[in-house]
A and B are shown apart, each in its own frame.
Chain A
């Protein structure tokens, strides 16, 4: 199975700053089949990005995804207070679909 490793584990930033989250796969993710989710404490995951770079419906354009092969990035251009959360990547290029361990974006 494909192992996804997210870094950093925790990212401490201030509102207005840029956040760059990394997701590295143990083998190439076919078709750029990579998703990003956001999860706030006590809430369900929320779909942000699919196909590595396509924003889901209703997702602000400050969220962007990029990458291919084994290296993927989620960028939040300017952090809003509501963006402080845990972010997970997930690959759906091969079964079993797998998630990264998450990156927590916290207020500095």
Chain B
């Protein structure tokens, strides 16, 4: 059974750093990209960026570029999302999600998210 298990809720102060995690199991971790998605309180979903665990190549939404860093440790099948300096506006639930590549005319197309972690609530408040 495919599972993505995320780390627990965090309460931080503005300016603090944070790293949250997402551990994959039940599938070959290095064969599928992982994306991170933000959901602010009462709001919709926002794609933040993705990583290819096989080579750690990342791609970010320009809206999040420079403010977060996505990484993986494939030896423990875990992806990370980290901030060096949190803001109050970072308060949200953060989901990791596994990609489901679809083959179109012999080419794998990425962007479909088939399994999601349970979400990590990050609260940033002074």
Q: A residues touching B (Cβ–Cβ < 8 Å)? A: 1, 31, 33, 35, 37, 39, 44-47, 50-51, 54, 56, 88, 90-93, 95-102
Kindly supply a per-residue 1/0 record for chain B positions 34-54, scoring 1 wherever the CB is within 8 Å of any chain A CB and 0 otherwise.
Answer: 010100000011110000000
Contact of A35 among B44, B46, B112 (CB under 8 A): B112
A90 to B112, CA, bound (A): 9
Q: Using a CB–CB distance below 8 Å, which chain B residues touch chain A?
A: 35, 37, 44-47, 59-63, 95, 97, 100, 102, 104, 109-114, 116-119
The answer to whether A33 and B111 touch across the interface, beta carbons within 8 angstroms, is yes
Report which of B45, B61, B117, B118 forms a contact with A90, defined as CB distance below 8 A: B45
Q: In the complex, A97→B102 CA distance in Å?
A: 15
Please indicate which of the listed interface residues B35, B63, B114 has the most CB atoms of chain A within 10 Å of its own CB. B114
The answer to whether B47 touches A101 (Cβ under 8 A) is no
In whole angstroms, what is the CA distance A12 to B116 when docked?
28
Give 9 CB contacts A-B under 8 Å: A35-B113, A44-B118, A45-B97, A51-B112, A56-B114, A93-B111, A97-B47, A100-B44, A102-B44
The answer to whether A88 touches B62, judged by C-beta atoms less than 8 angstroms apart, is no
* Chain B residues positioned under 8 Å from A90 (CB to CB): 45, 47, 111, 113
Q: How far is the CB of B98 from chain A (nearest CB, A)?
A: 10
Chain B residues within 8 Å of A91, by CB = 111
User: What residues of A have a CB within 8 angstroms of the CB of B63 in the complex?
Assistant: 96
